[in-house]
Amino acid sequence: MAHEIGHALARHTAESMSMLPLMYLQFILGMESPLLKYIFQFAFNLPFSRSQEAEADHIGIMLLASACYDPSEAPRLWKAFTAFYADPEAGEDELELDFDWISTHPSNRKRERALDGLVEAALEVQRRSSWCAFLQKKVLEFVGANTEAELLHHIRAAMTQAQAEEAQANSTAALRPRRRNTIAAIHALESQEMLKIILDDAAMADGEKQQVAAASA
């Protein structure tokens, strides 16, 4: 967006209109041969277009910095474009070749290098923008405060959970002896009941034997 604003600020559309007299001259003189068209295209039109694109890049990165954005992202963008359009089977030597002389725009590699050389100047422009430094300070303070508050919240939540787990562990440990004592008491009662049943059965058996002996006599 900053690049396109740069075109508007530099009045590149109006500059392009200044090339119309050459086109009219070509038409008036009747120079309609394909060769002359190519000469006009490569000698005037394409270089003029590339110079406008380079100027728009220059203005754009300065606008980017003035608006409090990181200007170093501009060359990274064109580096990414270079990598995206690169042939995986091509070597580094082929990547170094720039065929922008047949294009209306500079090559991605050339734009990357040009913008990379403007980063320091753009950062200086950004440092001179006092409102930008003020805004950056406020943003960092806001982010730091929220990060600190979130960190404290997580610490408190972790401490509360640890305390709850410790209390539960202590409660469980305290209940274990009571549980063991209760189980032992139940076992003791069961043993007494079983002994009583056995003794009763034995007494009943003795009584029956005595009755049988008496009846036989």
Query: Which residues have a catalytic role annotated?
Result: 4
Task: Evaluate whether 30 touches 88 at the Cβ level (below 8 Å).
Answer: no
- Tokens, residue 189: 């009662």
d(CA 14, CA 5): 14
| All residues at 6 or more sequence positions from 62 whose CB lies less than 8 Å from its CB, including other chains | 118, 121, 122, 125
| 126 contacts 65 by C-beta, under 8 angstroms | yes
Provide, for the chain, the percentages of residues in helix, strand and coil under a 3-state DSSP scheme, each rounded to the nearest 5: 85, 0, 15
DSSP string, 3-26: HHHHHHHTTHHHHHHTTHHHHHHH
- Region class of 33: left (phi > 0), else alpha (psi between -120 and 50), else beta: beta
